[in-house]
Amino acid sequence: MRISTVLTGLTLSIGLFTWASSSSAESLFTMNFGTVAPTGTPWSDQLNSIKNRIEKESAGKIKVKLFLGGALGSEIEMIQDVQRGERLQGGGFSTAAVGAALDVPLLQMVELPYLFKDNAQADAIMDEVLYEPTIKALEEKDVTFYSWTENGWRSFATKGDSAPTSPEELSKYKMRSQESPVHLNMYKALGVQAVAKPVSEVLPALNTGIVNGFDNTPLFSLAAGWIEPTTHYILSRHIYQPAAVMYSKKFTDSLPADLQKVILADPHAEAKRGRAAVRQLEDELLETIGAMGKEVVTLTDDQQKSFRQAVRAKTHAAFLQDHPEMQDTYAAIKAKKKELRGQ
């Protein structure tokens, strides 16, 4: 079992351009690429593949430097660095973090709880409904969107004598929340005390009792070591979390047309590779969590329904009230879901 492949993160690291000498032996551009994705994961493997492809296809004109595992700060900090295009020229980040850091409601909306039913539905909507609007929304923030990848389906992990299998039971826990209004509103709807913390602070908070639970995917939970202090992993699968690979527009605009084509090549194929690499590990990861002495809990249909009913309508309505400009896009998502059900 490849526990090295079971360590976390999501992103690709490309960025910071510096004009070098005109010598053909030297790179003309350097891209510093940041992410919280750890080494030894499908995310780092994909980013290294992208790095190698870019350096090869640019004939060495672009040098890519990857900074994994949050080495250059929190997601919010790195996203804002990419926007400025100075310290970082690229990165891979969760969509809600991008939405919060750059004030892009579209990318917060995609992490509304229970928005998607399964992988097929999520893929169709992300690729066919939301890809082009995301390009436009990020371009307005001086960011060039490249490709989707994914963190996967988030579930709850807790530390205690028994697994919380209802909203009422979960409300007794202090849960770490991602620094996003959508995530915080979900916990509010559940009646849970949520503590927003960046990735780097979660494990110490779990170890010291500042929080006694969190939600994240099996891959990230293992890769970050967050699963170790917990006792239960509850398969709620309440949020599908994509990730976005993106570049500073300042950087992409500085490249000649041929090099722009290199860094933006075949985004949909890149998304498929990233999704497949994460998804094929899920069963193995859950087995690993169980082998560590943690109880992996599969909710019954009624238990799943209790979580869905507690948060779905309330959080979706609150989001649309705060962001009425997203009504049409939300309606397009619903229309696509209806179309897929009819196929």
* 3 pLDDT higher than 80: no
Using alpha carbons, list the distances in angstroms from residue 79 to 61, 83, 267, 284: 25, 6, 20, 31
* 34 pLDDT higher than 70: yes
Band the pLDDT of 282: cuts 50, 70, 90: very high
**Euclidean distance between CA atoms 190 and 236, whole angstroms:** 13
pLDDT at 343: 78
* 12 pLDDT higher than 90: no
- For every residue of 288-332, DSSP letters joined together read HHHHTTPEEEEPPHHHHHHHHHHHHHHHHHHHHHH-GGGHHHHHH
188 — phi, psi (to 5°)?
-60, -45
* 286 pLDDT higher than 60: yes
CATH number of the CATH domain containing 158 = 3.40.190.170
**What tokens appear for 53 in the block?**
């492809």
Band the pLDDT of 4: cuts 50, 70, 90: very low
Average pLDDT, the chain: 92
pLDDT > 90: percent of the chain: 90
Whole-model pTM: value is 0.89
CA 181 to the chain's CA centroid: 15
- Structural domain of 240: 3-342
pLDDT at 51: 96
Give the mean model confidence (pLDDT) for residues 123-137. 98
Provide the domain count of the chain.
Answer: 1
Task: For residue 11, give the nearest of 97, 78, 91 by alpha carbon.
Answer: 91
pLDDT at 27: 77
